Copies of this chain bind each other. A is one copy, B any other.
Amino acid sequence: MKLEKNQKLLFIGDSVTDCDRAKPEGEGLFQALGTGYVAIIDAFLQSTYPELGIRVVNKGISGNNVTDLKARWQEDVFDQKPDWLVIMIGINDVWRQFDSPFIPDRHVYIDEYEKTFRELVEQTQSKAKQLVLMTPYYIEPNPNDAMRHKMDQYGKVVKQIADEHHTLFIDTQEAFNTVTKDLYPAAIAWDRVHPNHTGHTLLAKTFLNEIGFDWRK
């Protein structure tokens, strides 16, 4: 297992990460981590490796795009001094281009996305022991679907930044693609974005497998 004793593991992202977490802290009692994949990861870590004392913090905020992350990076990342930082951002950057096509102020196009994302990673790399970059996703099995297609391009940006900076990398789109061979997207998310418990569990399982979690410990 790649996580070590007493490390702080911070997740930042949009509504998929947020999931009604406590504001502003994002950790502690009373379901402060929300009800999504972050809470599932935390619960498996605490119940399986209680001796490690991993501290999990959730800094997702619904509706955020990469520009919104940049605006709160000092407070929500640097000031938190995480050992591990997990970033999943980009769904809203793409989605607004499709559900609000005529309001360009709410779009983040791929160049700005890439530039901002890379900037955040570069500034952070020396300050955290481990970065994990998760792609954005769209729970749509057809790769030629217009929004899925664009999301894939954003995902490739994430992969490229991960490669350049030798971070851990999680291809969430790939994870959903595997499941949607057997399940229609509506069985995971009516809107193909906000997953039900099945979808969040898939995200959590993929993450935990990536970091070498021992399920039968």
Copies of this polypeptide in the complex? 8
Instruction: Select one of B35, B100, B190 contacting A191, CB under 8 A.
Output: B190
Q: Which chain B positions have C-beta within 8 A of A146?
A: 184
The smallest C-beta distance from A171 to any residue of chain B, in angstroms, reads 16
Question: Residues of B contacting A50 with CB < 8 Å?
Answer: 179, 181-183
Query: How far is it, in angstroms, between the C-alpha of A17 and the C-alpha of B31 when the chains are bound?
Result: 18
**B202 and A47 within 8 A (CB):** yes
Chain B contacts of A43 at CB under 8 A?
196-198, 200-201
A101 contacts partner chain B, Cβ-Cβ < 8 Å = yes
Any chain B CB within 8 A of the CB of A6? yes
Given contacts A53-B102, A101-B187, A145-B142, contact A31 B197 (CB under 8 A): yes
A interface residue numbers (CB < 8 A to B): 6, 27-29, 31, 33, 35, 39-40, 42-44, 46-48, 50-51, 53-55, 95, 98-103, 106, 142, 144-147, 179, 181-184, 186-187, 190-191, 193, 196-202, 205, 209, 215-216
